[in-house]
Structure 1
Amino acid sequence: MSWRKSPPLSHAPLLLLSIHYLRFRFCLFAGIVIGLERGFLFCWAWHTPGSGLSGQPLDYLWQIGNINVTAVVAGGIATLTRNMMEAAIRFSDERNLAKDTFGQFVSKDVAEKILRNRFSFSGDTIQAGVLFLDIRNFIAYSSRISPEETVAFLNQVFGFSVEEIEREGGVVNKFLGDGFLAIFGAPLPHAEPVAASLRASQKIFLALEEFNRKKSGSPIALGIGIHYGPMVAGVIGTKERREYTVIGDTVNIASRIEEMNKVFGSRLLISSQAVETLRPGEKALLSPLPPTHIKGRSDSLIVYREAQVPSA
């Protein structure tokens, strides 16, 4: 086979291989090597009779030039690809870091939604379940222990409580000193917000029993209030600090319902509006209480408590 039948494309695999290293200098080096190799062969063929060399020297110089131009283009592609990959990796790392860091202060669902810029800053009107949890006699209890022990105690109680809330698809929106506000249905929709909040409450009380068995001293009691209805969910605050929260009469009533546990000597109260969304079997676990007036409202409210459960 004569040398002139070996076209520049015969070196394409080497150039393609150099692109895989994603470095411009490797592609340029490959082009220089190929150009030198073809230049050496041309010089050898030019001075060797019967080598089969055809064409003018300028044709082969043009061919070598094309090889080097191709190498430069390949190097540009390699550099662009590397930059895109590095940017994607940096974005992924920064996103994961932000999610992990931000997720320590809000729920992972809220953190994910913030990162995706899916929040409505004007607020969305939604139907959701609201759960308020309060640690009973916290002030008296915390006065008998050190501040460090108080923080450790809160972290323990909130630890198993939040775990059950999130396991049922709820989101702890904010901690309120000796309690917290949880939402079922925001920022992500929930198929059965009240039933899920009821299940979470029952699991929290079971975890509390285990906590009290292992704990020395007097047992700890919790109070939970659940309500369901319309509310506005969105981001409020300033440019420097913003917070995702829920606002509305439903949230206020849920807080009042939790406080009514002290009046009825109960540990869990659910509004009639919330009970209406439950299945018959779930409703059978609850007993209605007489209509009660709540602070700040003129109308009365019917709430349900657990059936056959000792008072807290």
Structure 2
Amino acid sequence: MFHHHDHFNELLHPEFLRIERKRVGIILGLFIIGTLILPVLHYLAPSLLRNFLNQEQFIGSLVFWWVLFCVFELGVYFRLGYAIKNNIQIPKRILIINILVEFGLPAIVLYNAVKFDYSLLILEYDGLLFYFLLLMLSAMHLDFKVSVGAGFLAGIGYFSVAFWGINYLQTEQDVAQLKEIYTMRSVGLVVGGLVAGVVAHEIKKRVNNYLNSMEEQKEIESLLGQQLSKGVANELIVHRNETIGHKVVGSIMFLDIRNFTVMADHQSPEETIEFQNAIFDPLIRIIEKNNGIIHQILGDGFMASFGIAVKNENHAKDSLNAGLEIMEAINHLRTDQNGSTTKVGIGLHSGEVITGNIGNEIRKQFSIAGKNVILASRIEQLNKTFKTQFLVSRQFVDMLNCKGCFTDLGEVQVKGFDDQVHIYQVGENCSCKEN
């Protein structure tokens, strides 16, 4: 974040480095354009740039300082790029040196121009224009103090060259009037720096607000990511203001840990939580590995979906693979209760569901609903009837080009449904997992 009380030793935010790099790039661009245009103008209109461009001594001095400045700015530009790419932090005091160089060069160029041209004409337009361009760009520092300081540097530089030039040339013009004019212009540069500082401060406030909102969103995503799957968290954020549901085709999985209630009654709360974490940790990883999303984690199971919150044409295959991997993982887990093997019940079904954010401004939940969600839950419960661990529907089987690993258990009357449902058992050695 850009802090309201900046210190030269504070580390610059990466976003600030990007803005500073862009500012330096603009100055380099202006210098390159000026370098290309200046000789052309001198060739086409020699009298426009007066005689000092015909003096080799001045040209040599100008080229020296011009090249030195460009090399310095290129070094700053690439150094900032390297820091951004490699996430290297840079203190603000290092960038202050760049400001001193940027506002020191015009004074040197103006000094040489006045000396070799033996005229104050360069101060009338070119010098002021150059300083004002730098002052406008100083606002990109997003620092009020820096812009005000730049204004003072510009004013002092212009004022010093002007008063030196008046004394050096010993002009016959009204010296008092000239000094008054150049003093007012110098004050104008200081005021320009003040205005740039105000603009920079306002921009900084908005950048701060933007960065704060980004940090808050990251915190929300992180918090939601701990409570929900990433896909669900993203759906809640992206569609948080939507009240209209969507119809989506996907696969729904219900999983239940068998005899969990009895087991919990014989364990301490610490043992129960430890057991739940030991069970759910590998299962959650398996679901996410296979592009699935867990919507709800209950005490003894969860509901997951594939291809619903995040579109996936291979949702049926991914959900089957997830179920088979869960069975394999469960076979390696044992409880401390009587040393018996942990068992689960899994139900899988594919079909159209309704998705949306359900709730109010206090609490919302990304929900999937519809008869196919209920049917998937009923299929999981049928494992108790068939004394199995993994059942799927015919609609699910029909979506896969793999029939060999399913055992047909026939049609079953399911509570809440008029039509019977065709049920299949999934074999633990199902070859579809590798297809």
TM-score of Structure 1 vs Structure 2, range by shorter chain: 0.7 to 0.9
Aligned partners of 2:286 and 2:325 also within 8 Å: yes
The answer to whether the Cα contact below 8 Å between 1:229 and 1:273 also exists between their aligned partners in 2 is: yes
CA distance in 2, matches of 1:119, 1:275: 37
Per the alignment, residue 8 of structure 1 pairs with 128
Q: Does 1:156 align with 2:278?
A: yes
Distance 1:53 1:123, change over 3 A: farther
Label 1:285 to 1:33 Cα distance change in 2 as closer, same or farther (>3 A): same
Comparing 212-221 with 28-37, greater Cα deviation is found at 212-221
Displacement, 1:26? Answer: 2.0
Query: What root-mean-square deviation, in Å, do the aligned CA atoms of Structure 1 and Structure 2 show?
Result: 2.7
Partners of 1:261 and 1:267 within 8 A in 2: yes
Structure-1 residue corresponding to 2:190: 68
Q: 1:25-104 alignment to 2 at 5 Å?
A: 25-46=145-166, 48=167, 50-51=169-170, 56-57=177-178, 58-104=180-226
Aligned letter for 2:340?
A: S
Would you say the 8 A contact 1:119–1:234 is kept in 2?
no
Larger mean CA deviation between 146-155 and 28-37 belongs to 28-37
State TM-score, norm by structure 1: 0.87
Contact 2:351 2:372 survives alignment (8 Å): yes
Distance 2:322 2:332 in 1: 15
Conserved 8 A contact 1:3-1:51: no
More strand by share: 1
Instruction: Write the distance in 1 (CA, Å) between the matches of 2:185 and 2:306.
Output: 70
Report the TM-score when normalising by structure 2: 0.64
Q: How does 1:1-312 map to 2 (within 5 A)?
A: 1=115, 2=118, 4=120, 5-6=122-123, 7-11=127-131, 15=135, 18-19=138-139, 21-46=141-166, 48=167, 50-51=169-170, 56-57=177-178, 58-117=180-239, 120-212=242-334, 217-279=339-401, 282-307=402-427
Secondary structure (helix, strand or coil) at the match of 1:104 reads helix
CA distance in 1, matches of 2:320, 2:376: 14
Distance in structure 2 (CA, Å) of the matches to 1:68 and 1:163: 62
In the superposition, relative to structure 1, how do residues 54 and 133 fare at CA in structure 2: closer, same or farther (>3 Å)? Answer: farther
Q: Aligned equivalents of 1:66 and 1:72: distance in 2?
A: 10
- Match of 1:304, SS state, is strand
In 2, Cα distance between equivalents of 1:14 and 1:234: 52
Residue 226 (structure 1) shift: 0.5
Letter of the 1:293 counterpart? Q
Deviation of 1:19 (Å): 4.2
Greater RCO (Cα-Cα under 8 Å, separation 6 or more): 1
CA distance 1:233–1:50, change in 2 (3 Å): closer
For residues 46-82 of structure 1, the C-alpha deviation after alignment (integer angstroms, 9 at most, x for no partner) is 4x36345867424323422432243233323432443
SS at match of 2:325: helix
Structure 1 stretches of at least 4 aligned residues deviating more than 6 Å after TM superposition: 213-216
Q: Is the 8 A contact 1:256 1:294 kept in 2?
A: yes
Encode CA deviations 1:111-169: one digit per residue, 9 max, x unaligned.
12222236642311221211000001112222221122112211221111111111111
CA contact (8 A) 1:224 1:258 kept: yes
Contact 1:113 1:119 in 2 (8 A): no
| Higher helix fraction (1 or 2) | 2
Deviations 1:149-191 (CA, angstroms, capped at 9, x unpaired):
1122112211111111111111111123211111112212121
Q: Which moved more, 1:128-137 or 1:19-28?
A: 19-28
Judged with a 3 Å threshold, the aligned counterparts in structure 2 of structure 1 residues 301 and 41 are, in CA distance, closer, same or farther, namely: closer
Shift of 1:237: 2.1
Residue 410 of structure 2 contacts residue 424 of structure 2 at CA under 8 Å; is this kept in 1? no
CA distance in 2, matches of 1:115, 1:54: 71
Deviation at 1:304, TM superposition (A): 0.8
CA shift in 2, pair 1:17/1:52, >3 Å: farther
Return closer, same or farther for 1:36/1:128 CA change in 2, 3 Å cut-off: same
Moved more, 144-153 or 27-36: 27-36
Provide closer, same or farther for how the CA distance between residues 51 and 206 of structure 1 changes in structure 2, counting only shifts above 3 A: farther
Distance 1:70 1:258, change over 3 A: same
Conserved 8 A contact 1:226-1:270: yes
In structure 2, the gaps of 5 or more residues are 1-114, 431-435
Question: Aligned pair in 2 of structure 1 residues 94, 54: CA closer, same or farther (>3 Å)?
Answer: farther
Q: CA deviation at 1:239?
A: 2.6
Whole-Å separation in 2 of the counterparts to 1:49 and 1:119? 71
